[in-house]
Amino acid sequence: MNDSQLISLMNRSPHEGRRAFFEEFVGYVYAVTANKLRALASREDIEECVSDIFAELYRCIDRGLSGGDSDLKALVTVVAKRKAIDYFRRLSSPSFQDTFSIDDDCYADYASRDNVQAQTENKERNSILYQRIKELGDPDSSIIIQQFFYGRTARQIAAALEMSEAAVQKRSSRARTKLKKLLIMSGIEEGSI
C-alpha cells in the first residue's frame, strides 16, 4: 500500500487506516526508537515512546497531510526521531547537555569541520560492521542485533527465536568471538568500536 492509498484509507476508514499505517511503519519506528533509547530505556519505555510516536503521527495526519506532497516515511522519520530525543532527554536528565551523540542528524550543527573526517570513517566502519554481522548468519546475526541494537535480554531473545536462554547466551558469546575475528580481518582494530 503506497502513501496515497494509506492516507485515503485513513480518511475513509480511520481505525482501519491507522491499523494499516501502524503495520506499515511500526518495525521502522521501533528500530529508530530503539537505536536512540536502548542505552537508557527499558523495553517498556521504548514501547511507550513508540506508542506516543504513533499517536502523534495519527494526529498529524488528521490535521493536514493530504494530496501528493506527502511523504509518510519522511514524516515518520522526523516525528520518531524527535519524540525519541524527547524521551532520551527525559531519561538522561540532568546530563542532557553532554549527550549530543544521540542523534547526529539533529545535532549536525554541533559537528565541527574537524569532525567530518571522523564521521566519514565512522560511517565506513559501521557499514563494515553491519555487513560482518550479517555474515554471521542466522541465528547469530539475529541474536547480536536483538541484543545490542534492540537491547533485548537473553530471555526475550530466547522466546523470540524459540531457543533456550542458555543457548542464546552461548551463541552470543561465540558469535562475538567470531565477529571480533571478522572485524580484525576487515581492518577494524580491536578496541576501536
Partner 1 sequence: MNDWENLFMNTDQHTIEDIAENFPVLSDEEKERIFAMSERKYNNTNNDQLHEQVSGVEVYRRPRWYKTAAIAAAAVLAVTGIGGSFYFISRNGSPNNKSANDVVETVTETSTDAEEVTTVEEDTTEEATYSTDNTDPEVLLASAYELTAGYADVYRMLQWYGLNVDESQSITFNPHLSYSESFDEWEINETYYKVTDERFKSIEDIKNFARQYLTDSVLGLTESDESGFPRTGFGSSFTSYFDYGNYSLCPTGERFELDQITDPSGEPLSFGFSDYIEYNGELYSKIPHQQPDEKFFGSEAEIVDSGDGWFTVQRLVTEHYCTFPTSDTGAPVWFRIVDDGGTWKIDNVDVGSPVEYDAYVMMQCYYDFLRNFSSAENSDTSDMIEVNGVSYAKYASSYTLGDALSGYAMEGISDPLEGIKEYTKLYFTDEAIDQFMPDLIGGKFITQDGTLYIRQDEGDPIFVSGEKPVFKWDMADIQENTEILSVSDDEISVRTVYYYADGTPFHTVSATIERTENSYNLFTSFIIE
Site residues (CB under 8 A) for partner 1, limited to 28-47: 28, 30-32, 34-35, 38-45, 47
Residue type, 86: D
Instruction: Tell me which residue has cell 539533529.
Output: 106
Residue 60 has which C-alpha cell? 498529524
Burial grade of 147 (CB within 10 A; 0-12, 13-18, 19 or more): buried
Q: Tell me how far, at minimum, the Cβ of 113 lies from partner 1, in Å.
A: 18
Please tell me whether residue 154 binds partner 1 under the rule CB under 8 A: yes
Name which of 5 and 39 has its Cβ closer to partner 1.
39
100 binds partner 1 (CB under 8 A): no
Residues 155, 157, 159, CA angle at the centre, nearest 5°? 70
Q: How many CB atoms lie within 10 A of CB 33?
A: 26
Dist CA 30 CA 150 (whole Å): 9
Q: How far is the CB of 45 from partner 1 (least distance, A)?
A: 6
Figure out which of the listed residues 8, 52, 99, 100 binds partner 1, where binding follows CB under 8 A. Answer: 52
- Closest distance to partner 1 from the beta carbon of 13 (Å): 14
User: Are the C-beta atoms of residues 54 and 28 closer than 8 Å to each other?
Assistant: no
What is the x/- site pattern for partner 1, positions 56-95, by CB under 8 A?
x-xxx-xxxx---x-x--xx-xxx--x--xxx-xxxxxx-
Instruction: Please report whether residue 132 would count as binding partner 1 according to CB under 8 A.
Output: no
